[in-house]
Structure 1
Amino acid sequence: MITRRTAVALLASPPLLTGCGAGAGATGRRSAAGPAPETTRTGRAPRTTAPGATRTGPAPAATPLSRTAAEPARPRIPGLGPRRGAAIPDHCRQAVLVTGRRQNSPVSTVVLHERTPAGWRPGPAWPAHNALHGWSTHHMAGDLHSPVGVYTLSDAGGLLPDPGSRLPYHHSWGFGSPGTGFEGESLAGCFDYVVAIDYNREPGTSPLDWTRPLGARRGGGIWFHVDHGGPTHGCVSIAKAHVKQLLRTLDPHAHPVALMGHADWLAG
């Protein structure tokens, strides 16, 4: 909008850039030397891997999460079909389901599910907005669609101080959000708190980081952020209290993911 973990995409800022977080990234973009002095980041040590060096741990962001045919069936979250449910990693114990009303609708619902021994336990349903033109299976920069898929949730941040996030939190003035939305609404405060969705980004970095593993044409800066009362450029927006609840609930040790798409696609 002006608005190492892996992302599974079955395969975004002011409106002139590439994603919901692009405008914030323009002012808070990190250099090779790291974040600007006025920014702080908590919860994870900075990356030290040099360009081209061999990485250990999770695969790069563009590598799909997958399961083998020998793995047992597992209970699915209501609203998810067999293929979408199978894309949730076995070690995942928190899943944020974003269900769009229709393929071309900017209106959606968000529910945080937690895995228990008895199966998935849903939280309350929260009203939400997604991109102006709905959903896409092949998101491109500036297309005003939100990307469908299953994505890890690794990092958070915002213009306001850390409210108690369990994910690493990047506090920066770079999350400022001037301007107005598609319906003339003010965007002030919509990036007070954000959770980065690991679509075409490098997990383990600030949401303001502009690394794009799939290339700049595929967009980026897709976040959960504070709702401003209208459609987004690609992000998912929910009430401020609900973003804070996500920050205080999502646990890196639970390997949280976001499952995103319109209802018909999710049922596949």
Structure 2
Amino acid sequence: MAVAAGVCGALLIPLTSCGAPQGGTSHRDTGHGKARATAPERLPGVGDRLRSKIPKTSRQVVAVYGAGKDSPDATVVLYTKDGAGWETSGRWAAHNGKKGWTTDHRENDKRSPVGVFTLSDAGGVLPDPGALLPYAESASFQAPHYWSKSHWHDFDYVIAIDYNRLKGTPPNEPTRPRGRTKGGSIWLHMDHGSGTSACVSVPKSAMRVLLRTLDPRRHPVVVMGDRATLKV
């Protein structure tokens, strides 16, 4: 299995990986959201352009609402659809790329890619917490210890975002089907309190909920971007 040095938008360049030390203010875990009394039929804050890219079979959506095009701050909401509407199953403070968002992601641009992506594979340093997605436990996910100690646990749990990667392989598999310049290894992973190189980071409690909830039989996807772009 490939080592973690090339993860999170910086293939084989560990200093710019998602867990690389950066400044910023920590965000508190906001916990689980309560299901709406009347679940909306449309995903809140997501316009027709991206909504049309969500597979009709998808019954689970992780929505990442970026605070602004150039902001590293975000909110992650887990939606599930059991009937006609989307119910909120969890809501957490989060971070995205430290320079914000882009519709044309490039390696090392420090921006997270806007779009709709499937969620197929998971893994991490820690043992499987009960994940429904295929889970690869390996020490190779370990963040380098020359990073600040606060970043050592970034990859204890990860969920691969299927951007420029081979689905059905461990998250740290290095193949980039669209080429290295388009970046790769974009993950959901544990938060270290500031922006990432391209990944989306959430509290450990959120990662455990997501791992135990996202079900391949429900065809989970992530819809991600800054709020203004998501609304288009």
The TM-score, its normalising length taken from structure 2, stands at: 0.83
Cα distance in 2, alignment partners of residues 249 and 143 from structure 1 = 31
Shift of 1:166: 0.3
RMSD: 2.4
1:161 to 106, 127, 142: 127
Would the alpha carbon gap of residues 102 and 185 (structure 1) be closer, same or farther in structure 2, given more than 3 Å must change? farther
Q: What amino acid is the match of 2:72?
A: P
Residue 233 (1) aligns with residue 197 (2): yes
Q: What amino acid is the match of 2:91?
A: A
Q: Which residue of 2 aligns with 1:193?
A: 157
- Matched residues, number: 208
Q: What amino acid is the match of 1:100?
A: G
1:110 to 76, 90, 115: 76
Shift of 1:185: 6.7
Q: Is the 8 A contact 1:20 1:221 kept in 2?
A: no
Cα distance in 1, alignment partners of residues 54 and 125 from structure 2 = 31
Q: Which residue of 1 aligns with 2:89?
A: 123
Q: Is the 8 A contact 2:11 2:174 kept in 1?
A: no
Shift of 1:2: 6.5
Unaligned stretches of 5+ residues in structure 1 = 4-11, 24-73
Shift of 1:20: 4.0
Q: Is the 8 A contact 1:22 1:221 kept in 2?
A: no
The TM-score, its normalising length taken from structure 1, stands at: 0.72
Q: What amino acid is the match of 2:190?
A: V
Q: Is the 8 A contact 1:167 1:252 kept in 2?
A: yes
Cα distance in 2, alignment partners of residues 255 and 19 from structure 1 = 31
SS of the residue aligned with 1:265? helix
Instruction: From the CA coordinates, give the structure whose radius of gyration is larger.
Output: 1
Q: Is the 8 A contact 1:15 1:233 kept in 2?
A: no
Q: Which residue of 1 aligns with 2:13?
A: 16
SS of the residue aligned with 1:83? helix
Q: Which residue of 1 aligns with 2:58?
A: 92
Shift of 1:17: 4.7
Cα distance in 1, alignment partners of residues 198 and 12 from structure 2 = 10
How high is the sequence identity, in percent, across the aligned residues? Answer: 47
Q: Is the 8 A contact 2:74 2:96 kept in 1?
A: yes
Q: Which residue of 2 aligns with 1:51?
A: none
